[in-house]
Amino acid sequence: MIFIVDSGSTKCDWIAVDDNGNQLLEKIRTKGMNPAILSEKKLRKTLKKAKDLKNNAEKATKIYFYGAGCGTENPRLALKVVLQEFFVNADVFVAEDTMAAVYSTINTKTEAAVVCILGTGSNCSYYDGKQLHQRVKSLGYTIMDDASGNYYGKQLLRDYYFNHMPEDIKIAFGDKYNLEADYIKYNLYKQPNPNAYLAQFAEFMILNKDSAYVKEVIKNGIRVFAKNMILQFKEELKTVPVHFAGSIAFFCQNEIREVAEELNFRVGNFERRPIEGLVSFHTNKKA
C-alpha cells in the first residue's frame, strides 16, 4: 500500500493506492501537517486521530508526503521522524509542497516550467525537467505568501478596518464573519495556524468576484506575486509556461491570465488539488 499525501497548512489529503495506481481506500482528510508551525506532539496527535490511517498504518510500504513547511531541513526531518514512527513498515519520502505542484501540473516528467502555488500560502519555483530551482527563500506567511489565501484574508481585514471597502461589500463581509477586534486578535495571536484563519476569508473574495473592488484586490495580489516571484525567472519565461496549483489559483484563473498579459508571461495548466496529479506521477502514468 502506497500513501500519497498533499498537505497544506489548513488540510491534508491522503490517498492509498497500489503499485498500478488503483485506489484502495476512500480519500482520507486530516488537519494540515505543517512541521514549520506545528510541534511533533501535535503532528503525532493528528495522525492518531485519523482512524483509517491508524487501521492501515502497518500495511503501508511507501509514503510520499508533500507539504507546506517542508522546504527547510529541520522541519522536514522532524516530520519524517513522526511519519516513520507511525508507518513502521514504510519507506518515507518527505518533500516541500512545491514539488507536489510541479509533479501534478507538468505534462510530462521531463517538462521544464515555472510552477506556482496559490493556496493557503504561496510559492514559485523553476523546474528544469530534473531539479527544482528557487531564487527567493520563503520567510513564511507573516511577511511573504503574496496572493495566497492568507495574504487576501489579511487584505480584506485591513480594508474593512481602514474603511477602504465599498459600503455594500463591507456590509456583506460583516454579515458573513465575526469581525469583532478582540475575536480577530484572539485567533491571530492566541490560536494555532493564524495563516489558516486568515485564509478562510478568501472564500468571501471568490464568491464576490463580480465586484470591481474585489476583482482589483485579486489582481493587485497577483501583480505583487508575479513581480516578486514569477519574474525572478525572466530568462526561463522566454521558453517555458507558468503552471499554477492550489485553490486560489484555480478560482482566479481569469485574473491570473489578465495579469500574465500585462506582464508578458505565458500561463500553462491549473490544478486545484495536486494530489490527483501526484498519483499519476508516482504510478508512472505520466510519460
For the cut 90, the answer to whether the pLDDT of residue 15 exceeds it is yes
The verdict on residue 8 lying in a domain is yes
pLDDT in tens, 127-162: 999 999 989 888 888 899 999 999 999 999 999 999
pLDDT at 236: 97
Q: Give the confidence band of 98 by pLDDT, cuts at 50, 70, 90.
A: confident
pTM: 0.81
pLDDT in tens, 183-211: 999 999 999 889 989 999 999 999 999 99
The verdict on residue 12 lying in a domain is yes
For the cut 60, the answer to whether the pLDDT of residue 286 exceeds it is no
pLDDT at 175: 97
Rounded to 5 degrees, what are φ and ψ at 265?
A: -130, 160
Which residues are bridge partners to 5 per DSSP? 14, 65
Q: In b/e form, how buried is each residue of 26-47, taking b as 16+ CB within 10 angstroms?
A: eebebbbbbbbbbeeeebbebb
For the cut 70, the answer to whether the pLDDT of residue 166 exceeds it is yes
Find, among 88, 96, 90, 94, the residue nearest to 71 by Cα: 96
For the cut 70, the answer to whether the pLDDT of residue 285 exceeds it is no
Which of 8-17, 58-67, 92-101, 269-278 ranks highest by mean pLDDT?
58-67
pLDDT at 204: 98
Which residues are bridge partners to 140 per DSSP? none
Range of the structural domain that residue 55 is part of? 2-97+275-282
For the cut 70, the answer to whether the pLDDT of residue 287 exceeds it is no
The verdict on residue 109 lying in a domain is no
The verdict on residue 62 lying in a domain is yes
Q: Which residue is listed with cell 510500504?
A: 61
Q: Assign residue 81 the CATH number of its domain.
A: 3.30.420.40
The percent of residues in the chain predicted with pLDDT above 70, rounded, is 99
∠ CA 186-189-195 to the nearest 5 degrees? 105
The verdict on residue 41 lying in a domain is yes
**Tally of domains within the chain:** 1
pLDDT in tens, 50-85: 999 999 999 999 999 999 889 889 999 999 999 999
The verdict on residue 168 lying in a domain is no
Cα–Cα distance for residue pair 233/238, rounded to 1 Å: 9
pLDDT at 192: 81
Contact, 94 vs 69, CB < 8 A? no
The percent of residues in the chain predicted with pLDDT above 90, rounded, is 82
The pLDDT of 239-249, averaged and rounded, is 96
The residue count for the chain: 287
